[in-house]
């Protein structure tokens, strides 16, 4: 074939290939929905719409926690390359220029066409200060985001904190994306799924530089965000505020419960802190400061602090002994101080008198009768059987348990059993004479302030309680199922009468150790405790309920390193009871004394 013929063949071949390609391209673009959709997806942008987080109210509808606007500053490197005065921008933010340039370099390495956050959670006031100058800095824009604000400034440790998701959060829950926020502790974490709501989504078509063009499919695929459920707590905002005020400058806790329902009226861990310190761009610095504060304000003493129950535990011993038949209400026992130390002028008490006088030998003998009850002829086996029965009876009062686990981070404390003592002394190597310190609430017994407040409610109810809880309503649907389950101690209600009478005498009787809790017009039943504390002044403890009949409030007060229970814990409890039950406070001198008190306390208050 000559040269001209070859050229026609080659030209025809190229023409044929071109026609094939043009035809196929037309088919893909005009005739194939699958490829049309694929092309659209190449320029599709998915925008997540955050849901408004549920608000938190107190039992009376007063707002505790709300959402407030904060502002992130975003930087797009491509848009800033034509001119950015980094020195001026750093000065506006109050940053060092080197830190700003490092943030810019990190954003550029991530994506030059996409915005990256360089400043998070600017408060509204701070944003207002700089917003008028942002136009001077190309590539910088703001984005509004909602953050939590504890408007009341109360119950910081119970309500908890709200912060940016961690790597574990992103790994464990597909709901979250990088940069999202969630509850990190307390009720904010416990009720995260209810509070967070459901995200919405909006689809856009964008150009190659990620600039918005128009809604995808006319917005038909978009979904709206659904706001989270509001929480109504059982807390009484006014009582909570007053309790925090009384505990200012002290270390300790207050837990107040409504006996009939198990609803927590107030929960204070002192020292506390301003919850809003843990939002905004300085969150990390504030958290570090709180973490290393010697007062441990991040530690929830009310739910996690463990203390020996001391004299308060004697009432439980008496009730179980009555129900077991080990004693009767009129059983008198000599105060033999050669067996165990005691104090005060008494010598031969019955049960009520022994509670009022806090007689150690009396309750030493009471527990001995329960543990060494002659269930076996072998001393050691008898002790093991007796302690096993005793342990189960004690746990029915909520000790050694998490009380239903309805409050975040509750510790169960410790009630020693046969396994515990076998592990220390060996099996068949111990008897009551080895472990008698638990008879008076010392030794290996550990309880929490929550358990002590619950004990006050249980005694006030004459033998039963509802599991303590802090949430009254979720999204208008009422309480979560099972939060207020009924628990009975198994002790005959009539057997509580002598104990309750003794508790009234602790406050009202001549020489009662809780006399500083006396309040006109209110019959307060209480018990003081002085809890041993190694190498420091004892902890002042008081638990009480009121009124004596049909109690409306039960509480425990712990004041660390403050001495006897009657000195500081009892008057604080009385002020709280009166503020909740009465229209006005009757003892301004008592209130002034409490407000002026600061840790460390004098040994003789």
Q: What is the pLDDT of residue 28?
A: 53
Within a domain: residue 229? yes
Please give the C-alpha separations between residue 261 and each of 196, 372, 465, in angstroms, as whole numbers.
Answer: 28, 37, 8
408, 160 in Cβ contact below 8 A? yes
Number of independent structural domains in the chain: 1
195, 229 in Cβ contact below 8 A? yes
- Higher pLDDT: 13 or 139? It is 139
370, 324 in Cβ contact below 8 A? yes
Share of the chain above pLDDT 90, in %: 65
User: What average pLDDT score do residues 217-232 get?
Assistant: 85
Give the model confidence (pLDDT) of 390-439 as tens digits.
Answer: 999 999 999 999 999 999 999 999 999 999 999 999 998 999 999 999 99
Q: Which residues 6+ apart lie within 8 Å of 463 measured at CB? A: 488, 489, 490, 491, 492, 493, 496
Within a domain: residue 440? no
pTM assigned to the model: 0.87
- Higher pLDDT: 82 or 294? It is 294
Within a domain: residue 118? yes
The domain of 227 spans: 47-77+87-127+137-233
Alpha carbon distance 420, 524 (integer Å)? 37
**Which residue from 538, 529, 520, 530 is spatially nearest to 574, judged by alpha carbons?**
520
Please give the C-alpha separations between residue 436 and each of 364, 432, 445, 509, 584, in angstroms, as whole numbers.
Answer: 7, 6, 11, 29, 45
Q: Which residues 6+ apart lie within 8 Å of 32 measured at CB? A: none
Give the model confidence (pLDDT) of 453-501 as tens digits.
Answer: 999 999 999 999 999 999 999 999 999 988 999 999 999 999 999 999 9
Within a domain: residue 23? no
- Determine which of 144-148, 406-410, 530-534 has the lowest per-residue pLDDT on average: 530-534
355, 506 in Cβ contact below 8 A? yes
Within a domain: residue 526? no
Sign of the Cα pseudo-torsion (172, 175, 179, 183, in order):
negative
**Which residue from 329, 315, 323 is spatially nearest to 503, judged by alpha carbons?**
315
Write out the DSSP string of 59-97: TTS-EEEEEEEEEEEEE-HHHHTT---HHHHHHHHT--H
- Higher pLDDT: 449 or 178? It is 449
Q: Which residues 6+ apart lie within 8 Å of 224 measured at CB? A: 49, 200
- Higher pLDDT: 346 or 37? It is 346
| Residues written for the chain | 605
Q: What is the pLDDT of residue 117?
A: 87
Q: What is the pLDDT of residue 6?
A: 64
Confidence of residue 9 (pLDDT cuts 50, 70, 90): low
Q: Which residues 6+ apart lie within 8 Å of 365 measured at CB? A: 333
Residue 164, domain CATH: 3.90.1310.10
Preceding omega of 458 cis (within 30 degrees of 0): no
The partner residues of 75 in beta bridges, in order of sequence, read 116, 140
- Higher pLDDT: 86 or 248? It is 248
- Determine which of 171-175, 204-208, 508-512 has the lowest per-residue pLDDT on average: 204-208
Within a domain: residue 562? no
**What are the two backbone dihedrals, phi and then psi, of residue 554, each rounded to the nearest 5 degrees?**
-130, 140
Q: What is the pLDDT of residue 41?
A: 46
Mean pLDDT score across all residues of the chain? 89
Q: Which residues 6+ apart lie within 8 Å of 519 measured at CB? A: 574, 577, 578, 582, 586, 587
383, 431 in Cβ contact below 8 A? yes
Please give the C-alpha separations between residue 181 and each of 47, 99, 117, in angstroms, as whole numbers.
Answer: 17, 24, 14
Preceding omega of 559 cis (within 30 degrees of 0): no
- Give the number of other Cβ atoms within 10 Å of residue 218's Cβ: 8
**Which residue from 575, 577, 499 is spatially nearest to 545, judged by alpha carbons?**
577
Long-range contacts of range 588-591, CB-CB < 8 Å, 24 or more positions apart? 590/516, 591/246
Alpha carbon distance 506, 517 (integer Å)? 9
Half-sphere exposure of 134 (CA within 13 A, CB side): 17
User: What average pLDDT score do residues 535-564 get?
Assistant: 93
**Which residue from 118, 110, 184, 173 is spatially nearest to 147, judged by alpha carbons?**
184
Alpha carbon distance 316, 327 (integer Å)? 13
Alpha carbon distance 571, 565 (integer Å)? 9
490, 398 in Cβ contact below 8 A? no
User: What average pLDDT score do residues 145-172 get?
Assistant: 91
Write out the DSSP string of 517-572: G-BTTB--EEEEEEE--TTSPPEEEEEEEESSSS-SEEEEEEETT--STTTTHHHH
Confidence of residue 537 (pLDDT cuts 50, 70, 90): confident
Give the model confidence (pLDDT) of 44-88 as tens digits.
Answer: 667 778 899 999 999 999 999 999 888 989 888 888 766 678 889
Alpha carbon distance 54, 345 (integer Å)? 59
65, 142 in Cβ contact below 8 A? no
Q: Which residues 6+ apart lie within 8 Å of 218 measured at CB? A: none
43, 205 in Cβ contact below 8 A? yes
Confidence of residue 29 (pLDDT cuts 50, 70, 90): low
101, 89 in Cβ contact below 8 A? no
**What are the two backbone dihedrals, phi and then psi, of residue 37, each rounded to the nearest 5 degrees?**
-65, -40
CA 3 to chain centre: 91
Confidence of residue 143 (pLDDT cuts 50, 70, 90): confident
Within a domain: residue 165? yes
User: What average pLDDT score do residues 562-566 get?
Assistant: 90
Pairing of strands 539-546, 525-531: antiparallel
Within a domain: residue 189? yes
Please give the C-alpha separations between residue 29 and each of 22, 161, 216, in angstroms, as whole numbers.
Answer: 11, 53, 18
Sheet holding 44-49, edge to edge: 44-49, 200-206, 212-215
- 418-425 vs 379-395: helix axis angle to the nearest 10? 140
User: Which tokens in the block code for residue 129?
Assistant: 């200060």
């Amino acid at each position: 074939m000559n040269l001209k013929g070859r050229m026609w063949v080659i030209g025809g071949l190229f023409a044929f290939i071109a026609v094939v390609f043009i035809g196929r391209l037309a088919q893909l673009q005009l005739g194939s929905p699958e490829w049309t959709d694929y092309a659209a997806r190449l320029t599709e942008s998915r925008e997540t719409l955050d849901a408004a987080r549920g608000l938190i109210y107190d039992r009376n509808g007063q707002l505790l926690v709300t959402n407030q606007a904060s502002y992130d500053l975003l930087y797009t490197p491509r848009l800033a390359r034509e001119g950015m005065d980094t020195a001026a921008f750093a000065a506006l933010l109050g940053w060092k220029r080197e830190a700003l340039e490092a943030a810019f370099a990190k954003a550029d390495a991530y994506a030059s066409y996409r915005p990256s956050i360089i400043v998070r959670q600017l408060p509204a006031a701070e944003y207002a200060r700089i917003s008028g100058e942002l136009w001077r800095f190309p590539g910088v824009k703001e984005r509004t985001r909602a953050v939590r604000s504890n408007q009341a400034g109360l119950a910081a440790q119970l309500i908890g904190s709200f912060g940016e998701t961690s790597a574990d959060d992103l790994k464990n829950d597909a709901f979250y994306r990088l940069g999202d926020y969630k509850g990190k502790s307390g009720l904010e974490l416990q009720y995260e799924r209810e509070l967070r709501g459901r995200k919405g989504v909006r689809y856009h078509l964008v150009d190659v530089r990620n600039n918005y063009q128009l809604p995808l499919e006319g917005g038909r695929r978009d979904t709206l965000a659904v706001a989270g459920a509001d929480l109504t707590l059982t807390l009484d905002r006014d009582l909570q505020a007053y309790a925090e005020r009384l505990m200012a400058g002290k270390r300790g806790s207050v837990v107040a419960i409504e006996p009939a329902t198990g609803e927590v009226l107030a929960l204070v861990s002192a020292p506390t802190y301003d919850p809003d310190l843990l939002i905004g761009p300085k969150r990390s610095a504030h958290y570090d400061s709180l973490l290393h504060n010697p007062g441990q304000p991040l530690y929830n003493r009310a739910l996690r602090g463990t203390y020996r129950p001391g004299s308060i535990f004697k009432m439980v011993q008496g009730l179980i002994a009555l129900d077991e038949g080990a004693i009767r209400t009129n059983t008198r026992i000599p105060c033999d101080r050669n067996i165990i130390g005691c104090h005060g002028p008494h010598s031969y008490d019955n049960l009520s008198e022994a509670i009022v006088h806090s007689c150690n030998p009396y309750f030493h003998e009471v527990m001995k009768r329960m543990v060494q009850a002659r269930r076996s002829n072998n001393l050691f086996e008898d002790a093991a059987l007796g302690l096993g029965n005793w342990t189960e009876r004690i746990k029915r009062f909520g000790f050694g348990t998490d009380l239903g686990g309805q409050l975040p981070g509750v510790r169960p404390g410790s009630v020693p059993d046969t396994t515990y003592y076998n592990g220390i002394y060996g099996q068949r190597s111990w008897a009551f004479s080895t472990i008698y310190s638990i008879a008076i609430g010392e030794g290996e017994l550990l309880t929490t302030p929550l358990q002590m407040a619950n004990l006050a409610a249980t005694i006030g109810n004459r033998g039963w309680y509802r599991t303590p809880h802090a949430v009254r309503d979720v999204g208008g649907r009422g309480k979560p199922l099972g939060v207020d389950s009924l628990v009975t101690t198994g002790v005959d209600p009539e057997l509580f009468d002598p104990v309750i009478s003794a508790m009234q005498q602790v406050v009202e009787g001549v020489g009662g150790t809780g006399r500083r809790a006396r309040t006109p017009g209110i019959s307060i039943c209480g018990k003081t405790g002085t809890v041993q504390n190694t190498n420091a002044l004892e902890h002042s403890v008081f638990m009480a309920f009121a009124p004596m009949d049909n109690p409306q409030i039960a509480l425990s007060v712990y004041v660390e390193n403050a001495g006897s229970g009657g000195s500081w814990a009892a008057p604080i409890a009385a002020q709280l009871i009166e503020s909740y039950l009465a229209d006005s406070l009757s003892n301004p001198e008592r209130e002034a004394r409490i407000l002026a008190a600061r840790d460390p306390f004098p040994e003789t208050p």
